[in-house]
Structure 1
């Protein structure tokens, strides 16, 4: 019996996707685990694997097709012993009629009276100016003043006729002029005037990922009451510990990044302040028993957050190795769904771009995200004396429905202490 290959749901929020590319063709034999297609989801472009064996009998949805609903048949696999040529694609659903048949039998309303034909001069002008470059405002003013656009030379970009060309003309009857002046003065300014500036640009269709990012971030800002708490952190001890650890790990080809240590610090902080390691869902408040840290990774066309699970109990070397693997596969679109779905809190580091501080948007259903700025040399008071130290600003964004300000402040305090005395996170 033929097997219908359906559009998979490659993330919990996915409702439709783009079939970006077929990796097989009709007549190819496939086995479980073979790559069949690249599918652009609401999170990333991912590869779709076969779970059945057989021959690709029919490709129903062509590559490049957008808005393919989850569950829609995209191809048919013929099982062993079946003739691929005998397999037929499922019939496309019939389009719903715009009106019931019964309604078609009702008498049609009498035809409306045709409007009086426009003057011949105006009709000729319209026929000509359809081929001209005219701004919408200039076209409207010309119509009001009775100006023949075909007789004008445009002074705008690429010979475009603009409002100034209409204002400068003496064409039209005096009655048309007086009427148009009164109309123009009483009319409200039109936003179409901005289109007179033909600014060179390119346009491209939003990807499924970008649409989802736009939708989710809009929902997050509209529905989550954010509270922002910032601390300045002295990084010199952390940088010294990182240097010492990297010296011992060099033989294992492991090099810790500052971000690896910050992931660990956030995870340990969440375990010490469990009131911030929560998620609010409907009328339920979930408190998590481990810290899974979602780490923001910039990829082409958007952002994805691979997860370091159990980050509070993992060694720094394990976090570093896992993070490098996840970030590399994220950029290649190779992450599996469980590797970027979930997480109890997030961390976003823009320090490598020289960003001093920023407020990150919470990634629901999580209730907090830590935004990391650049570490930089600043004047700083140490032991009652002004000295130069490496200072980093960190800002926590908290969902005020789930986390009180005092609890958020406690998390920031613990995070600061762990970063400034990093041996505490290793104990």
Structure 2
């Protein structure tokens, strides 16, 4: 039986995706786990793997098209299986824009008799393209679902928007570009100061003739305010920035964050790191300070499983695997891909996995589960000489650790002032899942491991 490959949800709150490139052609054999397409999300371009084995009988969404999550983009079936046009009809009805934007949409009209109601509609539109074209352009046929929703919220007539997407399709950026000038237009209502002038004058009229003229001068200067209001004409947010805005806002609105901070003596850990790197130099390997922190967090998560859990409805679900997400800065913002199933990894294995993850994040070749599978997060701004900060929890996770730079400081040891290398770490946690005491104990467990670094390699 044929299997429809649908647009996957590759990130929290992802609503739609764009097929950037097909990696296989129609008629090619594919297996479960084989990369078949490159999908652009709000944050990156990700390889989409097939979850079915067989022949790729039909590609339903051409390169460059954007479709909602869950819409069919291809059909995989047995070698001798006949895939008729009926299989391709649901996506065409669900997203007419993708149907009309494709130049080769002639197969569906050839088989309208096999479908009940959905097919005759598109067939009639395609047969006489000159007549419906002007009407179809501003309608949902040529606009993405998000663009239509934004247009409704902003009161924008899509017939007045020029689409810049594939085949002239209207995108979110097109709607926002129309909305920006509308917001910037009101700054020049010069008559308003004149209308408001009598109001202040009447209230001050009892004072004296002289003060009456002062407000008038102030009011005549008010038209200059549009100079500062011109900042409203800023460049629209990128897809990644909008995604970051949605996720962080939702996290702060839904998750009652609490924070615990501790100072960690990293002197012994830094000494051990130098020794380990000296031993790994011939093999071309090395470990970073972040690798030490990841390993300490992995060990602590196994001892405190509730921190590795998440809230679902009225219950707490504990993740079976430890998948540590690592915040990474990229060109347009940041992402937090995860080192998957790292509960049993050694320190050197975590170092290798961390380097591989960072390389593939920059290349845009991460897998979808690495974007969405994190169970705990780490954000390290130490390389920017940041001492202390707090991080926002990545939904649906329960906690994230924010670590600062490792620096030399004067501390008291055995009633003596000595110089040690210290680091501040702050845990942000969801109060609905864990309480302050448990969060503090978890942080102390991390501190204990880093201050006794041999425990990280034994």
TM-score relative to the length of structure 2: 0.65
Matches of 2:15 and 2:250, distance apart in 1: 17
Aligned to 2:16: 16
* C-alpha contact 1:23 1:35 (8 A) present in aligned 2: no
What are the superposed Cα offsets for residues 49-98 of structure 1, whole Å, 9 maximum, x if unpaired? 56664577x775562x55x21244557899999998962377389979xx
Q: In the superposition, relative to structure 1, how do residues 186 and 140 fare at CA in structure 2: closer, same or farther (>3 Å)?
A: farther
Residues of 1 paired with 2:202 and 2:400: CA distance? 52
Contact 1:10 1:41 in 2 (8 A): yes
Out of 78, 87, 92, the residue aligned to residue 107 of structure 2 is 87
Larger Rg: 1
CA apart distance, 1:38: 3.4
What corresponds to 2:430 in structure 1?
A: 399
Alignment of 1:15-414 (within 5 A): 15-19=15-19, 21-23=20-22, 30-32=28-30, 37-48=37-48, 53=55, 63=64, 65-66=65-66, 68-72=67-71, 87-88=107-108, 91=122, 136=186, 139-141=189-191, 181-182=197-198, 194-197=225-228, 198=230, 203-207=235-239, 209-288=240-319, 290-414=321-445
- TM superposition shift of 1:8: 3.8
Distance 1:183 1:355, change over 3 A: same
- Do the aligned partners of residues 36 and 308 (structure 1) sit closer, same or farther apart at CA in structure 2, a change above 3 Å counting? closer
Number of aligned positions between the proteins: 349
Distance in 1, matches of 2:26 and 2:241, equals 33
Partner Cα distance (2:261, 2:342) in 1: 23
Q: Is the 8 A contact 1:263 1:311 kept in 2?
A: no
| TM score, norm. by length of structure 1 | 0.69
How far apart in 2 are the matches of 1:62 and 1:184? 62
Structure 1 CA distance, aligned partners of 2:187 and 2:283?
Answer: 69
CA–CA distance in structure 2, aligned partners of residues 273 and 75 of structure 1: 43
Partner in structure 2 of residue 423 of structure 1: 454
SS of 2:372's partner is coil
Taking a change above 3 Å as real, the CA distance of residues 200 and 225 of structure 1, as seen in their structure-2 partners, is: closer
RMSD: 4.0
Structure 2: runs of 5 or more not aligned: 85-103, 110-118, 126-135, 141-183, 204-218
Cα 1:185/1:74, change in 2 over 3 Å: farther
C-alpha distance in 2 between matches for 1:139 and 1:59: 51
Q: CA deviation at 1:259?
A: 0.6
Question: Within 2, Cα distance between the matches of 1:331 and 1:301?
Answer: 12
Question: Residue 163 of structure 2 corresponds to which residue in structure 1?
Answer: none
Q: Which consecutive residues of structure 1, in runs of 5 or more, have no partner in the other structure?
A: 97-133, 146-178
Q: How much does 1:267 deviate?
A: 1.2
Q: Deviations over 1:155-190 (max 9, x none)?
A: xxxxxxxxxxxxxxxxxxxxxxxx773157689x9x
338-347 vs 36-45, which moves further: 36-45
